[in-house]
Amino acid sequence: MSAAGIRRNYQQALEALGGVKIDGVKPTDPELVAREGGDVAEVLAKLRLPDAGARFQDRDIATYDSYLIRTAQRNAWVTVMNDSLNTWVMVVEEKALQQSVKVLTAESMATALDTDGHLALYLSFDTNKTTLQADSESVLAEVVKLMKSDSNLRLRIEGHTDNVGNDAHNQTLSSGRADSVKAALVARKIDGARLEAQGFGATRPVADNGNEEGRVKNRRVELVKL
């Protein structure tokens, strides 16, 4: 079967399941790559492509079609990519978030700092940027409460990333995120002299970067008691 025939067959099969084609842009599209930082290899790594990744860099892939199938139970995202000899199909199903992180309070932070000397915060930032998102406000408010409850407390704010992307970018990103947290606390009337900010990139993982669960744990900001 030709690549065009394979593409049409998958399109008909997915549409029969209620799928809607939402994109046909290849991961090597210059505009997409530029928007994601300018490195084709990084884009392919983010998409977790199989051996098709090497072919993409050689521009051998004919098509890369993305579909969304919505059901009452879940959403499924399907990509179909092919060249003249091979077809790859990737399916990602959404599922409800399993809450595994306890809400941090000023009191629990103080206990962790007294016991371990450090604690991890999982704050929300804009993707690949240093901008804090609004849902980080509740955690920042507890950090402010913590520091106001102990006027002698000094903290180092450490930024950490997973290993996706190059070392220089991860170092810059982690430093910028640490600086953003410090600036947010100073804006909330915490004396900047009580705070230090430092980025470590991907050099200090706390979990396996070989899977997404581990990478999520590694993308963190830590508070270290000075």
> In this structure, are residues 221 and 123 in contact, taking their beta carbons and an 8 Å threshold?
yes
Among the three residues 58, 93, 128, which one is the final residue of a domain in this structure? 93
Does 72 score more than 90 pLDDT? no
Among the three residues 67, 93, 119, which one is the final residue of a domain in this structure? 93
Instruction: Work out the pLDDT band at 194, boundaries 50, 70, 90.
Output: very high
Residue 78 sits in the same domain as residue 144: no
Is residue 99 a part of any domain in this protein?
no
> In this structure, are residues 158 and 221 in contact, taking their beta carbons and an 8 Å threshold?
yes
Q: What is the pLDDT of residue 39?
A: 87
**What CATH number does the domain containing 216 carry?**
3.30.1330.60
Instruction: Work out the pLDDT band at 101, boundaries 50, 70, 90.
Output: low
Q: What is the pLDDT of residues 150-165, one digit of tens each?
A: 999 999 999 999 998 8
CB atoms under 10 Å from CB of 45, counted, come to: 14
Token reading at 212: 């997404």
Instruction: Work out the pLDDT band at 139, boundaries 50, 70, 90.
Output: very high
Q: What is the pLDDT of residues 208-224, one digit of tens each?
A: 998 888 999 999 999 99
Is residue 159 a part of any domain in this protein?
yes
**Mean pLDDT for the stretch of residues 121-132:** 91
Residue 73 sits in the same domain as residue 176: no
> In this structure, are residues 61 and 26 in contact, taking their beta carbons and an 8 Å threshold?
yes
Work out the mean pLDDT of the chain and round it to a whole number. Answer: 90
Share of the chain above pLDDT 90, in %: 65
Residue 69 sits in the same domain as residue 167: no
Is residue 101 a part of any domain in this protein?
no
27 burial via Cβ count (<10 Å: 0-12, 13-18, 19+): buried
Is residue 11 a part of any domain in this protein?
yes
**Mean pLDDT for the stretch of residues 42-60:** 75
Residue 82 sits in the same domain as residue 113: no
What's the residue count for the chain? 226
Total domains, the chain: 2
Q: What is the pLDDT of residue 195?
A: 98
Q: Which residue would you say has higher pLDDT here, 117 or 41?
A: 117
Among the three residues 65, 93, 121, which one is the final residue of a domain in this structure? 93
Token reading at 76: 């499924």
Residue 84 sits in the same domain as residue 135: no
**Mean pLDDT for the stretch of residues 97-112:** 80
Q: Which domain holds residue 57?
A: 3-93
Q: What is the pLDDT of residue 97?
A: 63
> In this structure, are residues 185 and 147 in contact, taking their beta carbons and an 8 Å threshold?
yes
Does 3 score more than 90 pLDDT? no
Place of tokens 């993707």: 127
Is residue 98 a part of any domain in this protein?
no
Residue 76 sits in the same domain as residue 157: no
Does 99 score more than 60 pLDDT? no
Residue 118 sits in the same domain as residue 215: yes
Share of the chain above pLDDT 70, in %: 94
